Structure 1
């Protein structure tokens, strides 16, 4: 069991967090030794510096908690906690010193590269300027001006192309917007036409139903007339059936002219 847990759970938790950071710092500096690229070394050093800041904050919290518990602890416990705090500070300072060493090495590399490039460039310019005649200097200046003009023209062309692309994009978006508006209007027209067609179908259905009823009634009338005609022809003496207009009277009811005499 961790002896700090018996004193304070918060002290034990802070101690565990600091131990985790120390392990991460140790692994980080070992990784830093294997990195050759200066930019990657700089990024790795920034990450380690952030971990050291967090560790420093935790050490301060540990010291504050120790001072709060000092009155309740015995002298031996307070001595142990202070030694623990000093050990943390010593280990953190060792990583801070290591960080400063790596940072100084990186700065020296940057200064060497910068100085070397500037020195060579300056000497080259001095040598060229000292060996050129007035005509050569004049021609060199003209070439530099021509190169500058060409660079400006290329920049103008790039800007003009960008503006043209933006204009074409805006026109395309406007055309698409108008097309979408037309599509929406056409959909509204189609919806209205479908609604009118539905109403027309309903009206035609009602008309067809009415026509069917009329046709059925006419059919029944025709059937009735035909039935009466048939009965009249079959049984002409039936008095219950009146003569149908348009039909000739029965032959037996007719009187010949010579029988009337």
Structure 2
């Protein structure tokens, strides 16, 4: 059982949180030693700095709780709590020193990165200028101006090329937009034509069905007429069948009125 639990549950809880943070700081700095990239080192160092701030806050809370319990505890207990607090502060200070060391190293790397091989270039230029004659200084100044003018011209060229590319891109986007509008209009026209064609097919279907009925009726009428004609020709004396004009057989006994006169 944790001896601090017998003194104060809150004190034991704070001590546990501080122990966890100090362990995380130890692991974090071990991990930091293996990181070579300065940007990643900076991010890792920021995380460790936040943990150190939290640890410092908890140590203050621990000290406040110890002072609140100081009158109730015996001398030996107070001495043990004071030594524990000092041990926490000492370990935290060691991590703060490591943090400062790593921060300095990272800053030195960044300075070397920005200055690079040109470090001390201005001093060399001063020494070089002091050894030049007036004419050499003028010539050197003219060359620097020419180089500056050339750099400006290159910059202008790049700007003009960028503007041209932007103009061409805008024109291409406009053409594509117009093409898309035409495609949408054509799709609308096709949709309308399909609806119209579908309606026409339905009307033709209904008309064709009507024509079929009419043709069937005409066929039945023709068949009936042919049947009557056949029956009339086969049985001309059949009085049940009415004569069809133009097909009645000639009357043999018909006499002219002039024969009786």
Q: Which moved further from structure 2: 115-124 or 228-237?
A: 115-124
Distance in 1 of aligned mates of 2:165 and 2:34: 48
Q: Who is 1:56 aligned against? A: 56
Q: Which moved further from structure 2: 225-234 or 108-117?
A: 108-117
Q: Who is 1:142 aligned against? A: 142
3-state SS, counterpart of residue 242 of structure 2: coil
Gaps of 5+ in 1: none
Give the alignment's TM-score, normalised by structure 2.
Answer: 0.79
Distance in 2 of aligned mates of 1:10 and 1:58: 12
Q: Who is 1:75 aligned against? A: 73
Residue 254 of structure 1 is aligned with which of 249, 252, 255?
A: 252
3-state SS, counterpart of residue 75 of structure 1: coil
Distance in 2 of aligned mates of 1:4 and 1:62: 11
Structure 1 residues 181 and 33: CA distance shift in structure 2, 3 A: closer
Q: CA RMSD in A?
A: 3.6
Q: Who is 1:193 aligned against? A: 193
Structure 1 residues 182 and 75: CA distance shift in structure 2, 3 A: same
Distance in 2 of aligned mates of 1:193 and 1:7: 92
Gaps of 5+ in 2: none
> 2:141 aligned with 1:163, yes or no?
no
Distance in 1 of aligned mates of 2:180 and 2:111: 62
> 2:186 aligned with 1:181, yes or no?
no
Structure 1 residues 23 and 176: CA distance shift in structure 2, 3 A: same
Equivalences, count: 256
Distance in 2 of aligned mates of 1:110 and 1:161: 34
Give the alignment's TM-score, normalised by structure 1.
Answer: 0.79
Instruction: Give the CA deviation at 1:105.
Output: 6.0
